[in-house]
Amino acid sequence: MKKRLLILGAPGAGKGTQARNICELLDIPTFSTGAMLRSQMKAGTELGKKAKELIDRGELVPDSVISSLVGAELQSPRYREGFLADGYPRNLEQAHFLDQVLKNMGTHLDAVINLDVELEDVVGRLLKRAEIENRSDDTEPVIRRRLQVYKEQTEPLVRYYREAGLLINIDGNGSIDQVWDSIAAQLR
């Protein structure tokens, strides 16, 4: 059974929802750098304050900060049987770092699920969500910046993991249930 997984996809591709489904199916915890940063922000740490400034502008938090969070967190016994990383890695440097950390732990990734969506559809979805949730990182210019950062920095990971033989590409343009059926069919 595949137990060390990543989920990739543009902001608004529905990663969060599908990540919850996958974790339930495989009985593994999520590993989310976004959640780690939000807990730093909530606790009001220096790291959290700096991260908030960047997040509110749609920028990535520096790799050095993310690596120190990830390096420590992955040692936790809760991920011993597996995990689904959601929102990590965000660029090639982070992907190389993750490969190294897992190698040092004597393990490796089993698969990378890519939710493949039309980027223009995603803008519409995100704007709608912004209206409903009133999120400070979801104004139109910030959404456009996050998509640009995704395209420049995160999308190259699709090719990286395809070449590593790990990629499971999923058509993410359907309904939540349709997308889930395609993912589940690949994991069972």
Q: Which residues are catalytic?
A: 15, 90, 125, 135, 146
CB of 89 to ligand AMP, least distance (A): 6
The H-assigned helical ranges of 58-174 are: 63-73, 92-104, 119-133, 140-149, 156-163
Nearest to ligand AMP of 62, 178 (CB atom): 62
d(CA 77, CA 25): 20
Residue 1 CB, nearest approach to ligand AMP (Å): 25
Is 176 or 178 the residue whose CB approaches ligand AMP more closely? 176
Nearer to ligand AMP, 56 or 181 (CB): 56
Give contact residues for ligand AMP (rule: CB under 6 A): 33-34, 37, 54-55, 60-61, 66, 87-90, 94, 146
Q: Which long-range contacts (CB under 8 A, 24 or more apart) does 125-128 make?
A: 125/12, 126/11, 126/12
- Residue where the block lists tokens 């938090």: 61
Q: Which of 109, 93, 92, 87 is nearest to 157 (CA)?
A: 92
Residue of minimal CB distance from ligand AMP?
34
Smallest gap from residue 87 Cβ to ligand AMP (A):
3
Q: Which amino acid is at 187?
A: L
